[in-house]
Amino acid sequence: MKTSKALYLEVGGIVAAVAAALVCGFIVILLTSSEPFAAIGSFLIDPLSNPFNIGTILNKAVPLILTGLSMSVVFQSGVFSMGAEGQLYVGAFVGSLAAVYLPGLNPWIHLPLVLVCAILGGALFAAIPGLMKAYLNANEIVTTLMLNFVAILTTSYLVNNPFKSPDGGGYARMELIGKDILLGKFIPGMPVHAGFLIALAAVAAVFVLMYKTPLGYELRLVGKNGQFARYGGIATRKIVVLTIMISGALAGLAGIVEILGIHQTYKDNFSAGLGFDGIIIALLARNHPIGVLISALLYAYIQVGAQTMQAGSDMPREVAVIIQVMLVLLVTAQAIFAYIRQRYAHSGTKAVK
Amino acid sequence: MEISNRVTVLRAGKSIATLLTKETNREEISRLMVGRDVLFRVDKRPAEPGETVLSVRGLRAADDKGSPALKGVSFEIRAGEVLGIAGVEGNGQTELVETLTGLRKADSGEIRYLGGDLIGRSVAQIRRMQIGHVPEDRQTSGACLTSTIAENLILDHYRNPDFRWGPFLHKKKIKKFAQTMMATFDVRAQSEETLAGALSGGNLQKVVVARELSKNPKLLIASQPTRGVDIGAIEFIHREVIKRRDAGAAVLVVSAELSEVMALSDRIAVFYNGEIAAVLDNTPDLTEQEIGYYMLGIKKQGQEAAAQ
């Protein structure tokens, strides 16, 4: 099989899964709504009907793109980190500290510094489960899920106590971040913030890293066939630590971009599952960065569609949850098929070309 | 022989013969166990051995369970000769190859390669020393089936500045290299972008051999080089191995197929129970039966002869 043919099959399968998930959502609407076609119409069309809604889709897609990239990098290396949520909080917190407590810097220096702090925060926090897996053989699923609690609860404590702004009213948040380093809007009449450009740059960077550099070759090889990588002399332990750190860096970037673009300060519990959404995005994208971009936009579109449907009909926005869950089920089922194909492809007969 | 009434001989997953114990003898059983497969004729000149390339002294190593697999193995291979390792599988051959290539830790002993020491070196370091390794299992260790042929071929070259463009992989040069290798080694596939998993066993093995020979090895270690491969590919791979020998490389061939060892080797070391039972010159009057006695531990050369 040629790679291009494999790609068409893969894309076809994913498109079918997405269509099937949408159909499931529509069936629920048909069965429960008194005006199903108006509901479906406002779900599908309203998100694209005005620049405000389009901008909202793009804004919602920004953190999803970044966490989706974060997960796709570790998944491609065969490491099943579930830690993007915790890394996102740590990165956002460290970045916000740099944003709030280093005032008076030139914004052209300050903003990159804030981003770098968030990236380093996420990467270093991710290094913990990476080192534990590589050198102590600790299961990364367990360690990353546990460390998520450590990250979320520790940052929550800190923003509720020493770093809490007295002006926050009832909310636990830091002091507001200076306007000069917030990610502003860059298209007149559309609410999309400059974080979208950062997300696009990250897609390009991850694509180049994974497919055009020696390191990407090693990362993918370790994920595809660890035994072959060891035979080839690739330092698989180092690669495991490195891949999870790159993933943490992207998660940290997702956190700080969400803070600088939407919240304008570090707020307690601001993410509410963006890191876990990244897992779904990466699965849907088959870990390809371009796929991540498309999947994140689709995911954001479904979320905005649910809101417009709630406003324009008698259906609640929770229908979007049904569609998302169906998407997860169908896409993971597909992943199982792909795994089985890969597993048993070479035990059957092979064509001599 | 002592306790049975009948004896069934199994070879390569097939029942070869069932004999009454009282009507047979050790020699007949060993002949059946070793087999009499078609002997592939390999045209080759007599070896012209040069300097010693690999010298192994008193090598000991454990298997995955920690029990000793190599119990003091010593041998030498010189430039321009093929040393074949014969033996029933599971007598330490796998562990020997893994220890030589850095994949397994040696407990004690000495491995000297062109004057340098290989003990304690990493796989990456050993692969950079012009040592080619065709592993026994091409589908797990020898190739990545979900990668393209090109990606499989550049395993030793992707960090080489010739295949780089700044920090990036040089796609055109990799493509050209892969196409040249595929043409030279007669790999039949649509393109270098074809997934390795779509290749037949013979074509996949040619990819592995091409990669290992592409670094112009001074020492080639080939483990089961033609297992599960079609006859055309067997002949091709045998010719390439001999070509490499004639170009002055030292070659170590490990094979469960005695006929293959006898076709390729200039000298044959027979493994039995983690030791070298004999080192024999592969002269025309050497018979499979003779090797079979050593393989099954019926005969054993004196220690001084084994270390020659």
Q: Do A232 and B156 touch (CB under 8 A)?
A: yes
A144-155 average pLDDT score? 96
> Does residue B151 belong to the interface with chain A, where contact is any CB pair within 8 Å?
yes
Share of chain B above pLDDT 90, in %: 55
Q: Which of B133, B147, B198 sits opposite A1 (nearest CB)?
A: B198
Residue B175 has pLDDT above 50, yes or no: yes
Question: Higher-confidence residue: B155 or B285?
Answer: B155
Could you give the count of Cα atoms lying within 13 Å of A201 in the half-sphere of its Cβ? 9
Q: Do A228 and B158 touch (CB under 8 A)?
A: no
Could you say which architecture CATH assigns to the domain B45-306? 3-Layer(aba) Sandwich (3.40)
Q: Do B124 and A4 touch (CB under 8 A)?
A: no
- Identify the pLDDT of residue A231: 94
> Does residue B127 belong to the interface with chain A, where contact is any CB pair within 8 Å?
yes
Contacts of B140 in chain A (CB under 8 A): 225, 227-228
Contacts of A221 in chain B (CB under 8 A): 144, 147, 151
For B:191-250, CB contacts with A below 8 A are 191, 193-195, 197-203
Q: Do A353 and B198 touch (CB under 8 A)?
A: yes
Q: Which of B146, B193, B203 sits opposite A352 (nearest CB)?
A: B203
Amino acid found at B114: L
Q: Do A352 and B151 touch (CB under 8 A)?
A: no
Question: Higher-confidence residue: A75 or B304?
Answer: A75
Amino acid found at B277: A
A104-117 average pLDDT score? 92
Q: Minimum mean pLDDT among A130-134, A245-249, A313-317, B237-241: which range?
A: A313-317
> Does residue B68 belong to the interface with chain A, where contact is any CB pair within 8 Å?
no
Residues of A with a Cβ under 8 Å from any B Cβ are: 1-4, 6, 208, 212-214, 217, 220-221, 224-225, 227-228, 230-235, 342, 345-346, 350-353
Q: Do A351 and B148 touch (CB under 8 A)?
A: no
Residue A347 has pLDDT above 60, yes or no: no
A112-129 average pLDDT score? 96
Q: Do A353 and B195 touch (CB under 8 A)?
A: no
Contacts of A4 in chain B (CB under 8 A): 193
A168-175 average pLDDT score? 84
DSSP H/E element including B268: strand B267-272
DSSP H/E element including B220: strand B219-223
**CA distances for B180 relative to A144, A274, B184, B215, angstroms:** 45, 47, 6, 14
Q: Do B151 and A231 touch (CB under 8 A)?
A: no
Cα three-residue angle B18-B23-B25, rounded to 5 degrees: 85
Per-residue three-class SS string for chain A: CEHHHHHHHHHHHHHHHHHHHHHHHHHHHHHHCCCHHHHHHHHHCHHHCCHHHHHHHHHHHHHHHHHHHHHHHHHHCCCCCCCHHHHHHHHHHHHHHHHHHCCCCCHHHHHHHHHHHHHHHHHHHHHHHHHHHHHHCCCHHHHHHHHHHHHHHHHHHHHHCCCCCHHHCCCCECCCCCHHHCCCECCCCCCCECHHHHHHHHHHHHHHHHHHCHHHHHHHHHHHCHHHHHHCCCCHHHHHHHHHHHHHHHHHHHHHHHHHHHHCCCECCCCCCHHHHHHHHHHHCCCCHHHHHHHHHHHHHHHHHHHHHHHHCCCCCCHHHHHHHHHHHHHHHHHHHHHHHHHHHCCCCCCCC
Size of interface A-B (CB pairs under 8 A): 98
- Cα B277 to Cα B292: distance, rounded to the nearest angstrom: 11
Q: A84, A70 in Cβ contact below 8 A?
A: yes
Contacts of B147 in chain A (CB under 8 A): 220-221, 224-225
Exposure string (b/e) for A20-50, b if CB count within 10 Å is 16 or more? ebbebbbebbeeebeebebbbebbbebbeee
Contacts of A228 in chain B (CB under 8 A): 140-144
Encode pLDDT of B57-73 as tens digits.
Answer: 999 999 999 999 999 99
Amino acid found at B220: L
Encode pLDDT of B213-259 as tens digits.
Answer: 998 999 999 999 988 888 788 888 999 999 999 999 999 999 988 88
- Identify the pLDDT of residue A209: 96
Helix (H, G, I), strand (E, B) or coil at B121: coil
**For A234, which residue in chain B has the nearest alpha carbon?**
B124
- Identify the pLDDT of residue A8: 78
Which residue, chain included where needed, has tokens 């291009």?
A: A4
> How sure is the predictor about B304, in pLDDT bands with cuts at 50, 70 and 90?
very low
- Identify the pLDDT of residue B131: 94
Show the domains of chain A with their CATH numbers.
55-315 (1.10.3470)
**Residue A230, Cα to own-chain centre: how many angstroms?**
30
Q: Measure A133 CA to nearest chain B CA, in Å.
A: 20
Encode pLDDT of A79-106 as tens digits.
Answer: 999 999 999 999 999 999 999 998 888 8
Contacts of B104 in chain A (CB under 8 A): none
Q: Which of B103, B125, B200 sits opposite A231 (nearest CB)?
A: B103
> Does residue B114 belong to the interface with chain A, where contact is any CB pair within 8 Å?
no
> Does residue B178 belong to the interface with chain A, where contact is any CB pair within 8 Å?
no
Burial class (CB in 10 A: 0-12, 13-18, 19+), B229: buried
**Residue B204, Cα to own-chain centre: how many angstroms?**
16
Amino acid found at A244: I
- Identify the pLDDT of residue A316: 85
Q: Which of A4, A230, A350 sits opposite B123 (nearest CB)?
A: A230
Question: Higher-confidence residue: A322 or A260?
Answer: A260
- Identify the pLDDT of residue B296: 87
Contacts of B171 in chain A (CB under 8 A): 212
Question: Higher-confidence residue: B181 or B308?
Answer: B181
Q: Which of B141, B158, B201 sits opposite A231 (nearest CB)?
A: B141
Encode pLDDT of B138-156 as tens digits.
Answer: 988 999 998 999 999 999 8
What six digits make up the tokens of B306?
A: 């084994």
A205-231 average pLDDT score? 94
Q: Do A217 and B151 touch (CB under 8 A)?
A: yes
- Cα B218 to Cα B132: distance, rounded to the nearest angstrom: 8
Return the closest-CA partner of residue B174 out of B210, B143, B150, B152.
B150
Contacts of A208 in chain B (CB under 8 A): 168
For B:73-102, CB contacts with A below 8 A are 101-102
Q: Do B125 and A233 touch (CB under 8 A)?
A: yes
Q: Do B147 and A220 touch (CB under 8 A)?
A: yes
Return the closest-CA partner of residue A232 out of B253, B215, B178.
B215
DSSP H/E element including B239: helix B231-246
- Cα A230 to Cα B189: distance, rounded to the nearest angstrom: 26
Q: Do A350 and B167 touch (CB under 8 A)?
A: no
Q: A326, A24 in Cβ contact below 8 A?
A: yes
Where on the phi/psi map is residue B217: left (φ > 0), alpha (ψ -120 to 50), or beta? Answer: beta
- Identify the pLDDT of residue A113: 95
**For A346, which residue in chain B has the nearest alpha carbon?**
B197
Return the closest-CA partner of residue B73 out of B269, B253, B250, B260.
B269
Where do the structural domains in chain B lie, given as residue ranges? Answer: 1-35, 45-306
Encode pLDDT of B77-110 as tens digits.
Answer: 999 999 999 998 899 999 999 999 999 999 999 9
Return the closest-CA partner of residue A84 out of A271, A286, A309.
A271
What six digits make up the tokens of A127?
A: 């290094």
> How sure is the predictor about A161, in pLDDT bands with cuts at 50, 70 and 90?
confident
Q: Do A3 and B193 touch (CB under 8 A)?
A: yes
**For A222, which residue in chain B has the nearest alpha carbon?**
B144
Q: Which of B145, B188, B190 sits opposite A346 (nearest CB)?
A: B145
Could you give the count of Cα atoms lying within 13 Å of A60 in the half-sphere of its Cβ? 25
